[in-house]
Structure formats: C-alpha cells, structure tokens
Amino acid sequence: MKLRQILLGAAIAAMPVAAAAADCEIGMGIAPIMEGDQVPAAVARQLEAKLKTVLTHVGVAAGDYDCQFFLTGRFDEAFSQEAGGVGGRVLVKTNLQLAICDGENRKVFATATFPLKGVGASDQQALTRALGSLNARNPEFINFVENGKAKIVDYFDKNYPTYMAKAQKALKARDYDEALYWSTSIPECCAGYAQAAELASSIYQDKIDYDGAMLLAQAEGEWASDPSAEGGRAAYGYLSRIDPSAACYAKAKALGKKISASVREDYDFETKEKYRNAVELEKQRIDAARQVAVAWAQNQPKTVVKNNWIAW
C-alpha cells in the first residue's frame, strides 16, 4: 500500500496570551486535510483532530479560519504486511512529516518527521492506531512546536510595525473590525504588544462611539416618526444596544427618559449602568476587541493555500 501526500493546507491568525516564548500562546491553523490517493478520509480527519488537541496541550491555539501561520504535513510512502496471529491482522509502517509555515511569506519555520507504526484488522485501523504515538508527551513533537513558536515570536518582534500600519489604514476607512484584527494579532510576549494593545483599545472605543451614534440616530428617527408606545418600544430597541461607554450614552439615556415620561413605560438603564463598570476594565475591553477580530477573520472568504513551495 502506498500513502501519497496528505496536505493539511491552510491557516489561522494568532490570538495571543502569555509572556515568554515558551509560555506565550500562539495561534496556528489547520484546515481540513486533503486526502491522498490511498489515504482513508477517516484517518485524515482523525489526524486533523489529534493535531488540534496536542497543539492545544503545548500552548498553541489551533483553529480553522484563514490566515498566516499554519501546520501542514504529509505521509511518506508506507507499506503494510500481515502481522500474523489470529484474525489476519495488518501491520502498517510510515513516516509523518510535519511543517510549521508562514503562508504569507512562503517560509518554513520548523519541520519534524515522526515514524509511525500500527497494527489493526485493516489498513485503516492500523493507520488510526499508528497515530497514537503523536501526543503532547512526545518530546520530539514538543520541541518541534516550541521551535516553530519561537520563530513566529521572532517574526512578530521584527514585523509588528506592519500590523500597526495595516490597523491604522483600516481605521481611517472606518473598517473597525479589520483594524481590530490587525491590532490584536500581535502576541503578548512579542515586542510591540503594549503599543498594539493601546491601539486596539482606542479602535474599540472608536467603534463603540460610531456604532452608538448610528443607533442613537435610528432611535431618534423612530421616536420622531411615531411618538407613541409602539414607537417608543422601537426606539428603545436601538437605545438598548448602545454600549454604556459610548460617547453618546448620556444622550441615549436622556432620550430613554423622555420616551418613558411620554409613554409611561419604564426602560431599564440601571442594568446598563452596572455593566459600564465591567467594560471599563482594560483586559475585558481587549478581550472584547479580540472577539470582534476573530469574527471578522472567520467571515472572510476562505482561500486555498498552495503548499507546493514547501520542500520536504
């Protein structure tokens, strides 16, 4: 039996946390595995799932959405033979080659080869069992990932100004979600993180202010066109979505009180006021900004990463 290429082509963005290359959480992508000519689909799916699990255990945020850094791999040609014993069991041996890559710059950051051997009632079962040795306790796998992570940290240390410039460009176009994507991409353990976090917080506030102003204008329009209980409820539907830290929040609250006085219905701003205390915490603001960035990246059109530039 021959196993031809399995490319796990694809990508992800880095969504950071921690504080030294070994402790810093780096994002890395794994896309659905492309099946080789004789590679069972179930084995390809299991390998993808296993890689996500072991990457998480060694401090990598493994995801699916399209971006720059990714893990890719392939099986060498393999052979199978009867293992002997009862039930006609099969022995399969192969090598799994893995690479951590920068798809944007077409660079390979780290490579490793893992000899695999498994026994099962069929080639597929034997291959599935062969993947068992690929786990977070495997020293070679840990070294492989840590080496790749260190190269990614070095990349951000040298290139973070480019990310800042892209964030500023998107901000000028009022594309707040993209701006947050670029400004939150720099891991916490990298040079430039403090500047990027400050920029992300500023962008997030601009987004809140802009969205709030749009919602207030819609609320005012609803109330002006229909100053009744029904119009008040429609207006408050917009007011209730305005973040308490938005620049227009005082005006939104005043309009809410005006509507309440006219239609004799009490709208709850107290809960929103309590929420204000939470969102002012800088860490929560950065976390919220990252969530916006992740959502933006996940909604981008997927691209197929061609890995023929990777030398095995």
Residue 286, pLDDT above cutoff 70 = no
- In this prediction, residue 229 has a pLDDT band, given cuts at 50, 70 and 90, of confident
> Are 235 and 223 within 8 A, CB to CB?
yes
For residue 18, pLDDT beyond 50: no
Q: What is the mean pLDDT of residues 63-84?
A: 72
Mean pLDDT of 246-253: 94
Parallel, antiparallel or unpaired: strands 60-63 and 26-29? parallel
Question: According to the model, what pLDDT value does residue 296 have?
Answer: 73
> Can you read off the two tokens belonging to residue 17?
């946390």
Give the range with max mean pLDDT: 12-21, 34-43, 100-109, 174-183. Answer: 174-183
Q: How confident is the model at residue 298 (pLDDT cuts 50, 70, 90)?
A: low
- The domain spans of the chain are 26-156, 193-279
| Identity of the amino acid at 111 | T
Pairing of strands 79-82, 90-102: antiparallel
Mean pLDDT of the chain: 78
Average pLDDT score over residue span 283-303: 67
pLDDT at position 155? 94
Angle of helix 139-172 versus helix 176-183 axis, rounded to 10? 140
- For residue 284, pLDDT over 90 is answered with no
* Stated pTM of the model: 0.72
pLDDT of residue 248: 96
For residue 280, what pLDDT is reported? 52
On the question of pLDDT at 276 being above 60, the answer is no
The set of residues, in sequence order, having a beta carbon less than 8 Å from that of 47 and lying 6+ positions away, is: 6, 8, 33, 73, 96, 131
> What share of the chain in percent tops pLDDT 70?
71
Of 25-34, 155-164, 275-284, give the lowest mean pLDDT range: 275-284
The answer for residues whose C-beta is within 8 angstroms of residue 163's C-beta and 6 or more apart is: 156, 182, 183, 185, 186, 192, 196
**What is the pLDDT averaged over residues 155-164?**
95
**13-22, 94-103, 204-213, 232-241: range with lowest mean pLDDT:** 13-22
CATH fold of 26-156, please?
Rossmann fold (3.40.50)
What distances in angstroms separate CA 198 from CA 180, 202, 295, 300, one per listed residue? 11, 6, 20, 25
Instruction: Return the pLDDT at 33.
Output: 61
Pairwise pLDDT comparison (7 vs 164), residue with the higher score:
164
Residue type, 249: Y
Q: Which two tokens stand for residue 264?
A: 């004799």
Q: What does the alpha-carbon distance between residue 195 and residue 167 come to, in Å, rounded to a whole number? A: 12
Pick the range with the lowest mean pLDDT from 15-24, 49-58, 141-150, 240-249. 15-24
Distance CA 126, CA 236 (A): 62
Residue 6 reports pLDDT greater than 50: no
Instruction: State yes or no: pLDDT of 135 exceeds 60.
Output: yes
Residue 180 confidence (pLDDT) above 80? yes
- Cα–Cα distance for residue pair 312/306, rounded to 1 Å: 14
3-class SS of residue 71: strand
34 pLDDT exceeds 70? Answer: no
